[in-house]
Amino acid sequence: MSSRSVLAGIGALAAASVVLTACGGSSTSTTADAGEPQAGGTLRYGLSGAPTCSDPAQSGTNQTIYVIRQIVDSLTDQDPETGEITPWLADSWEVAPDASSFTFTLKDGVTFSDGTPVDAEAVKANFDSVVNTLTTAKSPLGGSYLSGYVGTTVVDPLTAKIEFNGPNAQFLQATSTPQLGIQSLATVAKPAEARCDGSNIGSGPFTYADYQQDKSVTLAKRAGYGWGSDVFGHDGEAYLDTIEFTVVPESGVRTGSLSSNQLDAISDALPQDAPQIEATGGRILTTSNPGTPFGIQPNVTRGALQDPEVRKALVPAIDRQELVDTILGPDFKTATSTLASRTPGYTELADVTYDPEKAKSILDAAGWVPGADGIREKDGQKLSFKVMFSAVFAGNQAILELTQQQLREVGVDLQLELVSNAEATARQGTKDYDSTYYNSTRADGDILRTSFAVDGRNLNARGPIPDLDASLTEELATTDTAERNEIIGRAQQQVLDNGLWIPTIELSQAIGAGPTVQDLKFEASARLQFFDTWLSGQ
């Protein structure tokens, strides 16, 4: 089947995605009187956190992906308006009826920025390196997308056949992600650590010009680029000459720098920043992320969290609307499931509802009784646990501080443990935490398998749960959209029923853009795409 007809089968899984539009602010940075796009100029961007690594295959955080997405192309792209999988490096593809193999025909004449060809050998080397060199320890998302990978056959220089040991219905959408973006043979031959220093060579519309870990990144336009995604708004090279990313952790400093024209755009613009940004002609661009919403993932082997009734009681104890209203504002949504509402297959779960009396009743029935200080106890053990989190999103600490207060009302002592991104990643790898707080973005319901499968990341450190395990296996083997969504809906409830995820809020991207920034766009997974971006009034 061709790339155009694939939607009749497995491609329709991605096309089921709902439109990624603004929650309250604008979803596009174009102003009505901006005129025709102008080439040239440097866009100065303020990141709220440092990129964790320059390697797309090892990327995970939004701030990292804002940078790395610009230097790497993927085999396919995903239309943010329709969810359709569209050509990029691959002109067309064929999917086996059981979704156990995928054959891609590449565009001819595409090169990496070092002049070497983007060919089937490069595709093979990239996927082999994710599985065999990086492994899920360094590339948890990429490794999950390649679960069951048997290998890639180079059919001819422009044809690559990727095979799995069983059905892998999510893989076509996975080929649109930056984690499976294609880099040069020289890059993927390096060990994991050496791929984080800014020396990565991709075929994207920008290249690394300078990379200063924890400080700044400069990207330069790739001369001669001419193989953009079908989703892009124009052909040829990018408009911008340069993008300068600077790490500015303090929200007030980012906003002040945007308003004073020291920066052109910034991450994580908070509600209180809007008046200052708008007063100088700027605006806030918003879209909500698909995937898993922010939530607490309990380590079910630790302390009080070993009790499934404790985990179940945490869900109704949290007032999610208060979290949104108090901290985030109208551009954000409450979590209503173990998937975010813009994810294909999302199902609203009635149990994700604030009901503190229900929480107390569950804990009472489980034998957890209030102590003298109001914190519940059972058999001499306090109902107390830590939540490990990092500042990958500017609102995380405030959200968890308010959640801490809410849980105390039902007799639960939540202790906050703020750590660096690097420490969070390391400790997640060894499961050294009581619970961990994060979200995962992906425009496919298979994110549930990535996050909760017993043979996946399994940050719950759980053992077998037969009904959930069966659902996560079935969705991977199901190519019919309606059937797969039904299975994903069942899996969402099973994750909740087993206390594996305590949802809080859905992440939205809120980008502050100055008055000269035009056509700054979100891609299907709510990350920024700078290819079409240009600066007016030069």
Q: What is the mean pLDDT of residues 143-147?
A: 93
Residue 427 — left, alpha, or beta (φ > 0 → left; ψ -120 to 50 → alpha)? alpha
Query: What is the reported pLDDT for 28?
Result: 57
User: What is the tens place of the pLDDT at every residue in 445-458?
Assistant: 999 999 999 998 89
> What is the rounded CA–CA span in Å between residue 533 and residue 34?
12
CATH 3.40.190.10 domain locations along the chain:
37-71+204-289+508-537
At the topology level of CATH, where does 77-189 sit?
A: Dipeptide-binding Protein; domain 1 (3.90.76)
As a whole number of Å, the CA-based R_g of the chain is 23
Q: What token pair was written down for 20?
A: 């990624």
Given a cut of 70, is residue 469 above it in pLDDT? yes
Q: Could you give the 3-state DSSP secondary structure of residue 313?
A: helix
Q: What is the mean pLDDT of residues 236-251?
A: 96
Burial label, 355 (beta-carbon count in 10 A; 0-12, 13-18, 19+): middle
Query: What is the reported pLDDT for 5?
Result: 31
Query: What is the reported pLDDT for 30?
Result: 61
Given a cut of 70, is residue 21 above it in pLDDT? no
Given a cut of 60, is residue 16 above it in pLDDT? no
Contact status, residue 494 vs residue 237, Cβ threshold 8 Å? no
Task: Kindly list the distances between the CA atom of residue 388 and the CA atoms of 185, 440, 457, 476, 514, in Å, as whole numbers in the listed order.
Answer: 37, 16, 16, 30, 35
CATH 3.10.105.10 domain locations along the chain:
291-506
Residues 6+ apart with CB under 8 A from 525: 78, 177, 289, 290, 291, 441, 442, 443
% the chain with pLDDT above 90: 86
> What is the rounded CA–CA span in Å between residue 330 and residue 384?
32
> What is the rounded CA–CA span in Å between residue 280 and residue 56?
35
First vs last C-alpha separation in the chain: 46
Residues 6+ apart with CB under 8 A from 16: 83, 344, 345, 481, 485
Query: What is the reported pLDDT for 27?
Result: 54
Given a cut of 80, is residue 61 above it in pLDDT? yes
> Which of 444, 442, 443, 462 shows the shortest CA–CA distance to 453?
462
Q: At what angle do helices 396-408 and 308-317 cross, to 10 degrees?
A: 110
Provide φ and ψ at 31, rounded to 5°. -100, 150
Q: Could you give the 3-state DSSP secondary structure of residue 495?
A: helix
Measured at the CA of 523, the angle between CA 25 and CA 506, to 5 degrees, comes to 55
CATH code reported for the domain at 291-506:
3.10.105.10
Which H/E stretch holds residue 221? strand 216-221
Which segments of 223-339 are extended strands (E)?
242-247, 265-266, 283-288, 291-298, 333-334
Looking at per-residue pLDDT, the higher value among 11 and 505 belongs to 505
> What is the rounded CA–CA span in Å between residue 310 and residue 312?
5
Given a cut of 90, is residue 29 above it in pLDDT? no
Given a cut of 50, is residue 516 above it in pLDDT? yes
Q: What is the mean pLDDT of residues 179-199?
A: 97
User: What is the tens place of the pLDDT at every residue in 470-505?
Assistant: 999 999 999 888 999 999 999 999 999 999 999 999
Cα–chain-centroid distance for residue 442?
Answer: 5
> What is the rounded CA–CA span in Å between residue 8 and residue 94?
12
Contact status, residue 80 vs residue 20, Cβ threshold 8 Å? yes
Task: Kindly list the distances between the CA atom of residue 445 and the CA atoms of 139, 162, 170, 420, in Å, as whole numbers in the listed order.
Answer: 19, 22, 9, 28
Query: What is the reported pLDDT for 31?
Result: 62
Query: What is the reported pLDDT for 81?
Result: 87
Burial label, 478 (beta-carbon count in 10 A; 0-12, 13-18, 19+): buried
Which H/E stretch holds residue 160? strand 159-164
Amino acid at 400: L
Query: What is the reported pLDDT for 428?
Result: 94
User: What is the tens place of the pLDDT at every residue in 119-143?
Assistant: 999 999 999 999 999 999 899 999 9
CATH class entry, domain 37-71+204-289+508-537: alpha beta
pTM of the model: 0.84
